[in-house]
Structure 1
């Protein structure tokens, strides 16, 4: 069994004291690493749940805003993906042959339609197929939920996938900084300033009649239709 997660920094520090006995340098370094990770996670969780005000009640910037920023970035990233000139073609290939780039486009449509469980399934499929942008979407999704450990995992996957050749990158992004101690990552997403967003109500309408398959262990997962690539082209064209 895992010990109960500490609820305060003081509790984490109390657990960190070293008892008498023989410890190697590797033991001590491992302990420091675990303490660092616990404290970082604790600070993030406090940031996600603490009021975003100063002691005097004045608004103040705090890491609480990070989950809100992640939600905005995820939405904007999904819009950027479906605006890509190759998105409809890849979506057609996805319907026929489960192309990972098409899975990314389909997942972004699902995300914009608030069909989050299906979107997460196909984002994982896209990332598993080598799509770094799929891992970036999953990083932002878990960060938005406050699921820091899952966000760390996809940050590491994103950094690894960035090294793979022949990346399909519908939205240019660059990993600026990572930290092996905390799993943190800073990503620059290059979104056009003048990009007109596809109305999300229109996206929901296009996805309204999709078939849904029951997949063991994953539940009800929406499936693309042969008409969806043409609908995507119409949606993007209409907002230009």
Structure 2
């Protein structure tokens, strides 16, 4: 933008002595007007962006809460710990637990693990996660992935069962996607004891490509069972 203004100012210079126009001062005024318009546009869009991010965060918390409170969730998480055949839904449950315990980065790893195995709830969770931190390009990618998983034809490989099923979400035009309308305030979320256990999970550094991540334990699975299945 500055180079364009410099070009215009230079072009106007030969005429300045006839019109009394000061190219340097004119450039300064134009730049000030552009900056004022940018600032006004930013003030108008910033609240809307913050509202969208806040809405995405709330909806992801609601979704994660419903995931860990599913009747099969403790068993799915235990299967992730003790089974040789890793169940992607166990990864979804663990991701939801990590997110609700204040570990969104670790949760993202396990959401991606479950989504990569064809779980549409995990894919939708990644959409909400990226939207909540303003990463809209990544959010759009995961929304497209969610749509593909939910609309797979009978001739293809069907998506793994989702908890809760994606078709239960309501469509919201503001999101150009789906959101969660159910109130989860009456459902339990990780208590202090469970959060402390999650805080002390062992960190694994697999390689440079995967980076670091945490692994679930039998203690976490047992405490989740005690929390949601009293």
**TM-score normalized with structure 1 length:** 0.66
Matched, 1:208 2:199: yes
Matches within 5 A, 1:30-69: 50-52=45-47, 62-69=48-55
Taking only aligned residues, the RMSD between alpha carbons, in angstroms, comes to 2.7
Alignment correspondent of 1:171: 164
- Residue 176 of structure 1, CA deviation: 6.2
The 8 Å contact of residues 188 and 227 in structure 2, kept in 1 or not, is answered as no
Alignment correspondent of 1:116: 104
Report the Cα distance in structure 1 between the residues aligned to 2:92 and 2:43, rounded to whole angstroms.
28
**TM-score normalized with structure 2 length:** 0.69
Superimposed CA distance per residue, residues 103-145 of structure 1 (whole angstroms, 9 cap, x where no aligned partner): 0000111111111221111110000001000011100000001
Matched, 1:219 2:211: yes
Report the Cα distance in structure 2 between the residues aligned to 1:193 and 1:120, rounded to whole angstroms.
22
Alignment correspondent of 1:126: 114
The 8 Å contact of residues 120 and 138 in structure 1, kept in 2 or not, is answered as yes
The 8 Å contact of residues 119 and 159 in structure 2, kept in 1 or not, is answered as no
Structure ranking higher in helix proportion: 2
- Residue 84 of structure 1, CA deviation: 0.3
Matched, 1:76 2:52: no
Distance change >3 Å, CA 186–CA 206, structure 1 → 2: same
Report the Cα distance in structure 2 between the residues aligned to 1:136 and 1:48, rounded to whole angstroms.
30
Alignment correspondent of 2:92: 104
Report the Cα distance in structure 2 between the residues aligned to 1:131 and 1:226, rounded to whole angstroms.
23
Superimposed CA distance per residue, residues 150-194 of structure 1 (whole angstroms, 9 cap, x where no aligned partner): 000000000111134353221243366699xxxx63214353556
Alignment correspondent of 1:89: 75
Matched, 1:185 2:185: no
Report the Cα distance in structure 1 between the residues aligned to 2:43 and 2:57, rounded to whole angstroms.
13
> Where do 5+ consecutive residues of structure 1 fail to align?
1-5, 7-45, 53-61
Q: What secondary structure is seen at the aligned counterpart in 2 of 1:221?
A: strand
Q: What secondary structure is seen at the aligned counterpart in 2 of 1:124?
A: helix
Alignment correspondent of 2:29: none
Alignment correspondent of 2:37: none
> Where do 5+ consecutive residues of structure 2 fail to align?
2-40, 153-157
Alignment correspondent of 1:143: 131
Task: Give the number of the structure whose alpha-carbon radius of gyration is greater.
Answer: 2
Distance change >3 Å, CA 200–CA 112, structure 1 → 2: farther
Give the aligned length: 181
The 8 Å contact of residues 101 and 126 in structure 1, kept in 2 or not, is answered as yes
